[in-house]
Amino acid sequence: MTWADRYLGAAVIGLMLLLFPAPSYAQSLEVSAARVGIRSPDTLRLVLESNSALKPTISYLSTPDRIVIDLPRLDFSFGPGITDGKRFIETYRYGAFSPKVSRLVIDLSKPARVTRSFTLKPSGKTVVYRTVFDISIVPRARFTEEVARTKGQLIDPQSRRVEPVLSAAARNGEKPVIVIDAGHGGNDPGTIGINGRAEKEIVLAVALKLRASLQRTGQFTPVLTRDHDIYVGLKRRVEIARANEADLMLSLHADSIGDKNFRGGTIYTLSEKASDSVAANLAARENKSDILVGMDLEQENAFVRDILITLAQRETKNFSVKFANILISEMGQQRLIPRRPHRYAGFVVLKAPDVPSVLVEMGYMSNAQDAMRLASKQGQDAVVRDLTDAVTEYFAQLQLN
């Protein structure tokens, strides 16, 4: 089924809903459980349980090898992503991928494909629908064929504009536009903290508070790259900043790090050469975000290659560094890492050539104190205050020049 077919299908369903409104007890579509079992040495069976029939679209991606299962937008209600490491399925993860699509991504350690897929309706004591996927190891050449065959059906989120973030109305005369970029989202949870809280949820909470705080000053027009739990590609985040002619982009994160004692805020600006190994590892991991959610990376890589460090970009970098320094002085010692709170690395999300951009690691979810601080109202409010003060100070200084 092509995307157009599906779109038409959705339109027909929409029309039917208008003519035949759903009874008030109608439930939203929900997947309540997922299981992986062993069928044979070469075949695993994935079963999804849902309250209604699912119509999956199965696609394949390589480097790394993944199976992508696209479903209509639904709720996954079975807790965080499951890692069972059984045989050739390394992990799988799921979440909202776009306004109309939910996605489950299976990471493979060997090339494999769905050889059989069917749905069992509720019967007897079973009250749920079960969608079954038998996944078997296949030769590399066969897997490559599947990747090529299904390329067209992978929905490219970049091609469909998410409305609220790009509205021209957001651009409001003289007020500087501040793009607030909550990292991760949808089927990319970011890191999971020592307290079980997902990075995507913490950064979104802070982003929403920061928007309200900047609005209250009356001096800025804040724009979010996402305002709910949805995946947004890295390239798309940069595009949103550029399309809004942003005067500043703040990308918010709260990652994990091997050293559990490492805590405090860190401010990153762009550099092709990382300032240290912590910065390099973090950027490498962040830049993989698109792999996690099942994006085709060919286009993304071309985009990254195309970005040259031009004179304009150097100028932009100077402003980024200026803002970083102001933010560091606003945050003060107790909310920053003890040494070198300003670091450099090649984060894709910082690569808009004409938008000063910083990436703020608000703290480290691998540290017990930071994880608690960032999950608390007080801790989030403190970060929002620091950021609001730094933005105000930065633009006040620019006006003096």
Could you write out the three-class secondary structure of 331-379?
HCHHHECCCCCEEEECCHHHCCCCCCEEEEECCCCCCHHHHHHHHCHHH
Query: Quick one: tokens of 348?
Result: 């894709």
Which residue is listed with tokens 């799921």?
94
Residues sharing a CB contact under 8 Å with residue 322, sequence separation 6 or more, in sequence order = 356, 394, 397
Side-chain-side CA neighbours of 80 within 13 Å: the count stands at 14
Residue 386 φ/ψ, nearest 5 degrees: -55, -45
Among residues 115 and 195, whose Cβ is nearest to Zn ion? 195
Q: How far is the CB of 208 from Zn ion (least distance, A)?
A: 17
Residue 359's DSSP bridge partners are: 251, 268
Amino acid, single-letter form, for residue 141: A
Q: Going edge to edge, which strands form the sheet with 57-61? A: 57-61, 66-72, 101-108, 89-98
Among residues 253 and 343, whose Cβ is nearest to Zn ion? 253
Q: Which of 155, 158, 383 is nearest to 266 (CA)?
A: 383
Please state, in angstroms and rounded to a whole number, the distance separating the CA atoms of residues 333 and 264. 9
Which residue is listed with tokens 């929403």?
208
State the CB neighbour count (10 A cutoff) for residue 64.
12
Q: How far is the CB of 109 from Zn ion (least distance, A)?
A: 24
Separation of CA 6 from chain center: 25
Residues sharing a CB contact under 8 Å with residue 289, sequence separation 6 or more, in sequence order = 183, 184, 188, 234
Greatest Cα pair distance in the chain? 76
Q: How far is the CB of 221 from Zn ion (least distance, A)?
A: 25
Please state, in angstroms and rounded to a whole number, the distance separating the CA atoms of residues 281 and 287. 10
Q: How far is the CB of 47 from Zn ion (least distance, A)?
A: 31
Among residues 89 and 336, whose Cβ is nearest to Zn ion? 336
Q: How far is the CB of 260 from Zn ion (least distance, A)?
A: 17
Among residues 201 and 255, whose Cβ is nearest to Zn ion? 255
Among residues 183 and 264, whose Cβ is nearest to Zn ion? 183
Q: How far is the CB of 156 from Zn ion (least distance, A)?
A: 23
Among residues 143 and 347, whose Cβ is nearest to Zn ion? 347
Among residues 49 and 361, whose Cβ is nearest to Zn ion? 361
Among residues 137 and 291, whose Cβ is nearest to Zn ion? 291
Q: How far is the CB of 191 from Zn ion (least distance, A)?
A: 6
Among residues 55 and 228, whose Cβ is nearest to Zn ion? 228
Query: Quick one: tokens of 5?
Result: 């077919």
Q: How far is the CB of 293 from Zn ion (least distance, A)?
A: 13
Q: How far is the CB of 199 from Zn ion (least distance, A)?
A: 5
Quick one: DSSP state of residue 124? T
Q: Among all residues, whose Cβ is closest to Zn ion? A: 253
Among residues 190 and 193, whose Cβ is nearest to Zn ion? 190
Q: How far is the CB of 292 from Zn ion (least distance, A)?
A: 11
Residues sharing a CB contact under 8 Å with residue 239, sequence separation 6 or more, in sequence order = 158
Is residue 123 within 8 A of residue 110, CB to CB? The reply is no
Q: Which residues bind Zn ion (CB under 5 A)?
A: 183, 190, 253, 255
3-class DSSP state of 153: helix
